Amino acid sequence: MSVTGRVDTLEGDKNAAIAKLMRHAESILAGLLEECTVEPEDDETRLWNTYDVSDLQADIEVSGDSISGTLKYIDSGTLKDVWGAGYFLCLKFSDVDESATSVAVGLKPSVSSEMVELDEDMNAVFKVTDKGKQKLKVVSTDGTRSTVQTFDLNGIRFAPIE
């Protein structure tokens, strides 16, 4: 984002000019929605009455705009039936801006699904196939304004297939 404009000042008016510029920048920033919190889902959370999150992943951390940890290979159950065998990441989303009417999440590029809107459980599972190219994208919107968060997956490790 950039703020452009011209501020004419006399020597004694520098503080007033700076304050005016700051108010202008704040008004631009006020148009953005707050970013939501992204964190690993609790290990004990049960998914589709088939898996505990701990069956999918270990030591997942979200730090800044990076996600790291270990994903386990899944070759049975609902995830395999719907998306095929592979590595899956389960995340929880919270602290959503109160004016947001939807929050959509997804990996870009995705193997088989596009962005999906979060439902009441506020968690999502993603099939990770290329941790170097895929990014997690989170889009919060109120219908007129949007905030986009992007997370790098380079810190993800794939556990050996057992």
The per-residue pLDDT string of the chain (162 residues; one tens digit each, 9 = 90 and over) reads: 444 444 444 555 677 677 667 665 554 566 678 899 999 999 999 998 889 999 999 999 999 999 999 999 999 999 999 999 999 999 999 999 899 999 999 999 887 778 899 999 999 999 999 999 999 999 999 988 889 999 999 999 999 998
Residue 34, C-beta contacts closer than 8 angstroms, at least 6 positions apart:
95, 96, 97, 140, 147
Alpha helices in 57-158 (DSSP H): 78-83
Per the CB < 8 A criterion, the answer to whether 75 and 119 are in contact is no
Domain locations along the chain: 1-30, 37-158
Output the six-digit token pair for 71.
């994903």
Strand partners, 125: 90
- Kindly tell me the sign of the dihedral angle through the C-alpha atoms of 106, 112, 117, 120: negative
Whether pTM exceeds 0.85:
no
CA distances from 9 to 16, 21, 27, 100, 107 (A): 9, 12, 21, 40, 48
What's the pLDDT at 113? 74
What's the pLDDT at 103? 95
What's the pLDDT at 114? 81
Per the CB < 8 A criterion, the answer to whether 128 and 88 are in contact is yes
- DSSP secondary structure of 30-72: TTSPPPPEEEEPPTT-EETTTEEHHHHEEEEEEETTEEEEEE-
69 vs 45: CA distance, rounded Å = 17
CATH 2.60.40 fits domain 37-158:
yes
